[in-house]
Amino acid sequence: MRISELAATTGVPVPTVKFYLREGLLPAGETTAVNQADYGPEHVRRLRLIRALTEIGGVRLRDVGRVLAAIDDAALPLHETFGVAQRALRPDVAEEPGSDAEFDRALGDVDAALALVDWQVTGDAPARRSLARTLVSLRRLGWQVSVDDVVRYANAIDPIAADEVEAVDGGRPRTESVERMVVGTVLLESVLADLRLLAHEHHSGRRARRKGLTARRGRPTAGS
Amino acid sequence: MRISELAATTGVPVPTVKFYLREGLLPAGETTAVNQADYGPEHVRRLRLIRALTEIGGVRLRDVGRVLAAIDDAALPLHETFGVAQRALRPDVAEEPGSDAEFDRALGDVDAALALVDWQVTGDAPARRSLARTLVSLRRLGWQVSVDDVVRYANAIDPIAADEVEAVDGGRPRTESVERMVVGTVLLESVLADLRLLAHEHHSGRRARRKGLTARRGRPTAGS
């Protein structure tokens, strides 16, 4: 297909497609004439992947290139592409909130929680430091966050994450497995976060209705 | 304290503090002399809240004002501030990915899942449409995402969200409850997301080691 069709199929404007081509995020099409190239289904798929990462995952354009390179690098062990996806999702943060002592204490608590749930993670996992930063922020806002609280959250998320990892590997070709891993890491985070917000609304509404009933007529009667 | 001390205590540079004051995100200090004002612990707390929302929650500055106004508005029912926090976290998206038909189908699936888990949410909850958009993206990337998959994720997140809602209300003054709700919505989302990434690394590493053992020496022997 021509570039105009590629744009129409994916909903990505032609200038944006040209920008991705120039930046090397999208491989060049097959040249069919001067100033004309032919694009195939792999271009459609790659364009959709770029848009999903940037629009839903909030991945910055400069990190998208690294993620795509990891997907395309057949020599990179499957397990390590998780790290690449992680780093794109949790880019470096220049400054830590709070003092060094507060941050070190939080990092110690994160490691204590990881030891309690017996998760093996590398010390340079960006999520480990990102989690410690969030603990510092919560504490500075007056929250008492304990190692046990972190363990409770970890135990809640553990079966979901284990399922997700199992689902990625399934006798598929490597490129497909890696793409699934990256897409799953980014897009299913968004699914979980949205469901959590909807669950908040549900539980908070139920609580408000329960209180309202109690206030208006004492206990709700059977059948009400 | 003076503005320079406020900046030193919170780690927020003086020009940024002045910007927040001008934008009305931070209430003015008490004037003590010409060009000099006195700031108290409530300013420290508010500054930390603004930084946590923007840096960890990724809330845009223009949405921070709405969130703070909701926290300060004593007339707004506690339950409804969840909605305000939601809208700040899931700002409007201009365009839907995919065609109207794909989006409508995804929205129907989201509603079917919500009905199956029996969650009562309002039709204009931003997370409902945001979730449908993510389903469209996943499907366009070749994922078979069923109503049952959404239900499985919803069931996993339900007890966490229920606990969080219970924890917010606890005989605290209203402003404090609302602030806890907003902070919890934003910052605990980040905690959960980071733990999910760490769990991925753990489970994927375990899987890789298991496979490595199998490849090198057949089945791992007892005691290895």
**B88-119 pLDDT, tens digit each:** 766 655 455 567 888 999 999 999 999 999 99
A140 CB neighbours in chain B (<8 A) are 48
A205 CB neighbours in chain B (<8 A) are 79, 120-121
Between A29-33, A66-70, A99-103, B165-169, the lowest mean confidence (pLDDT) is in B165-169
Q: Which of B143, B164, B196 sits opposite A157 (nearest CB)?
A: B196
* Closest Cα in chain B, distance from residue A102 (Å): 13
Alpha helices (H) in chain A, listed in sequence order? 3-10, 14-23, 41-51, 61-72, 78-89, 100-117, 126-140, 147-168, 174-217
- Is pLDDT larger for residue B147 or for residue A210? B147
With an 8 Å Cβ cutoff, are A204 and B79 in contact?
A: yes
Crossing angle for the helix pair A41-51 and A174-217, nearest 10 degrees?
40
pLDDT score at B11: 86
Does the predicted interface ipTM exceed a cut of 0.90?
no
A195 CB neighbours in chain B (<8 A) are 127, 131, 150, 153-154, 157
For chain B, report the end-to-end CA distance as a whole number of angstroms. 62
| Mean residue pLDDT across chain B | 83
pLDDT at A195 over 80: yes
**At residue B148, what is the residue type?**
D
pLDDT score at B99: 72
pLDDT at A138 over 60: yes
For tokens 């941050």, the residue is A103
CA closest to A193 among chain B residues: B189
A62 phi and psi angles, rounded to 5 deg: -70, -20
pLDDT at B172 over 90: no
Between A30-34, A67-71, B154-158, the lowest mean confidence (pLDDT) is in A67-71
Between A114-128, A135-149, A156-170, B19-33, the lowest mean confidence (pLDDT) is in A156-170
Let me know: does B119 contact A198? Beta carbons within 8 Å. yes
CA closest to A46 among chain B residues: B141
Element (H, E) at B47: helix B41-51
Let me know: does A27 contact A71? Beta carbons within 8 Å. no
Cα B60 from chain centroid?
Answer: 12
**Share of residues in chain A with pLDDT > 70 (%):** 88
pLDDT at B77 over 80: no
| Percent of chain A as helix, strand, coil, to the nearest 5 | 70, 5, 25
Between A174-178, B3-7, B50-54, B143-147, the lowest mean confidence (pLDDT) is in A174-178
CA A200/CA A211 separation, integer angstroms: 16
With an 8 Å Cβ cutoff, are A198 and B131 in contact?
A: yes
With an 8 Å Cβ cutoff, are A208 and B120 in contact?
A: no
* Closest Cα in chain B, distance from residue A147 (Å): 13
Q: Which of B131, B197, B199 sits opposite A194 (nearest CB)?
A: B131
Looking at the DSSP bridge assignments, the partners of residue A36 are A33
pLDDT score at B222: 45
**At residue B6, what is the residue type?**
L
With an 8 Å Cβ cutoff, are B156 and A153 in contact?
A: no
Q: Average pLDDT of B162-170?
A: 79
* Closest Cα in chain B, distance from residue A192 (Å): 7
Going by C-beta distance under 8 Å and a sequence separation of 6 or more, which residues neighbour residue A146? A109
Between A160-164, A206-210, B22-26, B126-130, the lowest mean confidence (pLDDT) is in A206-210
With an 8 Å Cβ cutoff, are A197 and B90 in contact?
A: yes
CA dihedral A118, A121, A127, A133 (to 10 degrees): 70
With an 8 Å Cβ cutoff, are A185 and B195 in contact?
A: no
Q: Average pLDDT of B136-163?
A: 90
